[in-house]
Amino acid sequence: MYGKLSESDLAQLQKQAQQQPQRLKFLIQQANALPIMPHALHTPENEVHGCEAQVWLVAKWREGLLELQLDSASRVVKGLLALIYQALNGATSAQVAAFELDALLVALGLDDMVSTSRRNGLRAVVTAIQSSRD
């Protein structure tokens, strides 16, 4: 349900999210930890439509594991993408298929701060990742 995140990984993220005086600051910190996607990959083919902010995604499978590259023009969206990255980069096909975005947001206490339109955009990202499977 949480991709490749173990219960201890999830507990650590929960602790970080709850320790921050502002959950927005937590998301910005997550955005800063997301590996940099080369600007050359910011192409129309890699853009995920349905998102409020521009989002780019490259999903490749190597030896049965997912390799992700994600980026957004928005810091908050980029922070949310970083959480998806942590859950799914290096995940197996079964972990990717079982991943539930809403469950992750609830578990991290971020559910109430993600608007419906932003959530729909993130769902579009997850759907694109899940449909990239071998």
Residues labelled catalytic:
51
Dist CA 105 CA 79 (whole Å):
12
Phi-psi region of 43 (alpha: psi -120 to 50; beta: other; left: phi over 0): beta
User: Please, are residues 34 and 132 in contact by the beta-carbon 8 Å criterion?
Assistant: no
Dist CA 3 CA 91 (whole Å):
7
DSSP H or E segment with residue 2:
none
Please name every residue paired with 62 in a beta bridge, in sequence order, or none if there are none: 65
CA 49 to chain CA centroid, Å, is: 15
